[in-house]
Amino acid sequence: MQVDVLDNYLLGSSANSLLDGTGSAYPIPFYGSTRTTYASDPTQDHPLISPKRVWAEVQTPVGLLTFGRQPSAWGLGILANAGTSLDSDYGDTVDRLQFALPPFGTPLGDLVIVPMVDFDVTGVSHPDPHFGPGVGQPIDADQSDDALTLAIKVARLDTDDEIRRKLERNETSNNFGLYYNWRAQENTYPAWVELGYAGDFSNTNNTTIGRRGAWAHIASAWYRHLSQKWRIEGELVGVYGHIGNINLAGSSATDPSIDTTRLAQSINVQQWGLALQGEYKPASVVSIGFEVAAASGDSAPGMGNMPERLYFPNGVGTGAGQLPPYGSLEGPQWGRPGDHSINNYRFNPAYTPDLILYRRILGQVTDSWYLKPSVRWDILPGLTLDGAAIYSQAMYSQSTPSSSSLDPNDPNSALASKGSAPLGLELDGKLTLSPGNGFKGWGDIGLLKPLSGFGPGTSLAWVFEFGLAVTF
């Protein structure tokens, strides 16, 4: 079970109406202050206590049964990532039923086969018909709007104990596996997605059932080699799919630059991503790392991490609410004349190779490749220094802010300048203190030099942050 308590609450948030209220003599009372938490606090965007995952693992005579709302993880985490690191804000939680069969011997070693079903979307549901909302369990109103994933993992895996014993004997551990997903959804009800039980399905505006007609094959191959001095680990992901009707939702009530009412059309999805990490330990206190990673791109304007983002120059004017022109940082990757594809692969947002460019500016690794040499030095027991340099470049320079359209107010306007692909050079450092009693403290510092892909007029970006945590 995982329950988040005061997760991602800002220090100094949760105002107190007794002391911080509008009628208070001082904006910040000098005579006392307290943070108060109460239900439906309008200054918070998520609840105080949030049960996030509840699942069970049961050992049966024929294998390990796992069921419930649970984390999903695989390989290096560029596809499925549980987000379990101490400072992780993202991570995949799935409603899953899985059954791990006992390992069986093959010429490749002992293989584990794990079939699973993920209930991705159940769609429109009705409250208990006998007693109404809040009593009993709602029922799934329609089968055709369900989205389901059928998946299987086939893997050769050493346990932590096996790895330790092998490395002590100066042997190597070679693990690998394949994770395959078949995911499909036939229909969707936009009013349900937008409004839930408040959706009025008798209103003709909302009754439209959307034919989604979506399916995808998603596969990831993973390999890891471990020895006393080396770790080599890689993951390769491919997505091949089709969306019969891409755009069915309504416009955003909170952000006018997000509007999703454009004409429906069918879209092909062909994406790939890969990450390869190497780590070498020349001495017991030093390790040298190297990472190369790439995510496929799409030549449409914008990087494609926010595909719902449209063109809104100052919120009004010609072209407002249209597809963004070349030179935009974000935008849909489909919809321009002849563009019926979404080909940019997006790394799982919980996979964070840096501090600034991908993590805070772009949001995810997409439409780019990067090289990342790194070094780790265990200065003293419990004190570690990490350093990394990351050079990144776009796959399509047309996706970067440095490209431009002939007419930015015409969503169909042709490319004026292809722009430039280099995105940034970033230096990141981290000092971690972990005295071994469950406490961990760290400080991060990052510097980003934006390169020509961001166009002229950029300046050095920097971040400094620290964290304090106790695990128990």
Residue type, 230: W
Residue type, 99: F
Q: Does 405 bind Ca ion (CB under 5 A)?
A: no
**Per-residue string for binding with Ca ion, 86-125, x by CB under 5 A?**
------------------------------------xx--
Q: Does 146 bind Ca ion (CB under 5 A)?
A: yes
Q: Which of 247, 322, 368, 399 binds Ca ion (CB under 5 A)?
A: 399
In angstroms, give the least distance from the CB of 243 to Ca ion.
12
Residue nearest to Ca ion (CB): 399
Residue 179 or 326 with smaller CB distance to Ca ion: 326
**Distance (Å, rounded) from C-alpha 8 to C-alpha 66?**
29
Residue 126 or 164 with smaller CB distance to Ca ion: 126
Site for Ca ion in 300-329 (CB under 5 A): 300
In angstroms, give the least distance from the CB of 203 to Ca ion.
20
**Per-residue string for binding with Ca ion, 334-353, x by CB under 5 A?**
x----x-x------------
**Stretch of 133-141, 208-216, 422-430, 464-472 lying at the interface with Ca ion (CB under 5 A):** 133-141
Give yes or no for a contact between 275 and 235, defined as CB atoms under 8 angstroms apart: yes
In angstroms, give the least distance from the CB of 121 to Ca ion.
8
Q: Does 200 bind Ca ion (CB under 5 A)?
A: no
User: What residues contact 28, with CB distance under 8 A and at least 6 apart?
Assistant: 20
**Distance (Å, rounded) from C-alpha 383 to C-alpha 432?**
6
In angstroms, give the least distance from the CB of 326 to Ca ion.
9
Token pair in block for residue 469: 């945590």
Q: Which of 298, 330, 354, 428 binds Ca ion (CB under 5 A)?
A: 298
Residue 446 Cα distances to 55, 390, 426, 456, 460, angstroms: 38, 11, 7, 21, 10
Question: Rounded to 5 degrees, what angle do the CA atoms 119, 123, 128 make?
Answer: 100
**Runs of H (alpha helix) within 135-276:** 160-168, 190-195
User: How distant is the alpha carbon of residue 15 from its chain centre?
Assistant: 31
Q: Does 155 bind Ca ion (CB under 5 A)?
A: no
**Stretch of 219-227, 235-243, 331-339, 453-461 lying at the interface with Ca ion (CB under 5 A):** 331-339
User: What residues contact 330, with CB distance under 8 A and at least 6 apart?
Assistant: 302, 303, 304, 305, 306, 309, 324
Which residues make up the interface to Ca ion (CB under 5 A)? 122-123, 140, 142, 145-146, 298, 300, 333-334, 339, 341, 399
